[in-house]
Structure 1
Amino acid sequence: MSSPGSTASLRSANQQRVVDVLRAGGTVSQADIARQTGLAPATVSNIVRELAGAGLVATEPGSGRRGTTVALARTAGLVAGIDFGHSHVAVALGDLTGQLLAEERRPIDSGHAYADGLAEAESILDSLLAAEGLARDKVRTLGMGLPAPMTDGVVRTSAILPGWVGVNAQDAAREALGAVVHTENDANLGALAEHRQGVARGHDTSVFVKVSSGVGAGIVLNDQLFHGAGGTAGEIGHLTLDENGPVCRCGSRGCLEAYTSTVALQAMMGLQLPGATVDDIVGAARDGNVSALRALEDAGLHLGWALASVVNLLNPALVVVGGDMARAGELLLESARIGLRRHALDAVASTPVVASELGERASLVGAVLLAAERTSLLTD
């Protein structure tokens, strides 16, 4: 390892600055790279030459003010993302800017053993690669999201995916897939995706709340994911709203999740619309079903109550709501804003609460972005 302040260390740091500009995607002129990095044009030219010689970037000669343009090359390799949900697994291939190239989503039993889940993910990955005519060794890094709190890669608890509890997901995936794997909570990946490519672009502080069979949040502070001391920051689904409320799957009473999750919504509508899916309930509400409208309004008000605590504490630029419940749109979000205004301080009561731009793909997009950002592109 190069010592701080050495010539080799400075060279690596300068390479990293150039690579960071290229990761933003698109084609950039060397002159623009110099402006964005603050490096001398000659330094940028030398770094681009080194990266091109290693097959990491592609260049196109130009003339005039723009000069030579540069972009990350396909020969630099690919990454992949895996997103496990309550009843699905999705896999995507992406390039090293984090752009998705191909993806597939399959249903999976929520009680599956972790090895079976990884085998299904591997099957999808191989199918995507075969369709592109690519070998597995073209995938340099994988990102994987799970709906569970993790510490050092180990799944702590998960009523959503009980077959993963106690498993070092990162090690298990690395062994099963034969590649470098980085794991992350799915809500954190949703936050990363919305921050980089979604509705939270341009904001350095935001909160992404995934409301599905469970409820969790990903937090971006100063353009970085915030994990907390043990990696479990963002578990807002277990904020207590009423200590005498319904029993939550975590064993406590009155948690946000017990009022706002898809499970809670379906239980609330069990008598009026037995066996209805979330989409059925949302459709009924849009058709004017009073019970469905009230159920979604109630879920939104409780969500807003919890979000008030979040915005009081963190003061984000905006709150992004994703997951299955986000498909209700304004039927959920308008009451969430009302709940937030009722319980938040005046200074933050108008914090925007908006729907995810990336929808159900947010965590998958985040998994690809995670893999791309964790892939080293520096030359020796």
Structure 2
Amino acid sequence: MPVSDALLSTVTEALAELMTSVSVCDDRVLDRDIADQWLETTSLLLNRLSPADRRTLSGLLRDTARRRPVGEWRDDLLRIPEEFGLDDDPHELYCDAAADLVRRLVKAVRGSDPATELPGRPGRVLADLVREHGALHRRTERLLGPGVPGGVPCGADTGPCAAPRGARCDGCDTPPDDPADRPDWLARGAAAALAALRGADPEAPVPGPGPVRRTRFHSRRLFLETVVGLADAELALGQEPRIPPETGADGIEEYLENLPYDTAAAGRIGGLPDGVLRLDAVDSGAVWTVTVTDGAPGWTATATATGTATAARVRVQGSAGDLLLFVRGRHRPGHPKLRISGDRGFLDRWLAATAR
């Protein structure tokens, strides 16, 4: 249904006035913590827009500001697009953030014992982590680019490498035999994947296991997979992962958005009883409710905790980062950073159904 220019202009103006009022409001009128939660939630919602929509909204907000008389209020309105990141390209930001995390991951595994167990993944070790992420990078690059420069791609997606003896193969998913060479193999694959992502149109159609089958799906996926992979490595090495609230929230939402497209998990979820799983981020006030009805999951996100907790069959509380590690199976029920109340049997069945 088309939206009239008058409606779009009015809604933009109302949004600008509200966002600016909350930003500059005296804490004697509005509690600063509450104001910050509202603004953070608004920012998260705006970040879901496509780059094109973000640019459009940025222009509309600036047009709204320019219609105001010159002065302090007009200046505050003009700062909204920058303060809420509307001028930033999420695709490029994801690529930059992923590059930084990959460097940290490579540094973490370099010189570490490849047989070190991953605490959140029974039966898996650091060598498996390197192989999985190297394979992810190469699959991403193959979707977007013609080939990996600097090596001899063997063309094998799985199984033994078919490159000539002595040649360096960067084009398949098989890591080098020598553990000392694997961190560099990981770094090369990531560099090739990120170069392909940066060189592609974010809105170009690209296959993907989720609702957004465009290039930008893969930059977000690579970043968030590296967030969890780095946490895996840090936990294995006795370090404490530090995942910012906004990153944890983004990871939870990406996981829930893609879950219905995981055919194996969808089949297992089909056997679950009806119920509601509630996730409460204690550091930001964000709430996610996952409702299973007739074997199909659906989810919603709200800004702050409300009285709906009593409707949940089971409730899990923790920081957004710890909740991300929980839904991804790294933190299990009973972890000291989580607080769980309600039907543990339903929660156990949900975790078993969604396990990867």
Structure 1 and Structure 2 fold alike (TM over 0.5): no
| Higher strand proportion | 1
TM-score band, normalised by shorter chain: under 0.3
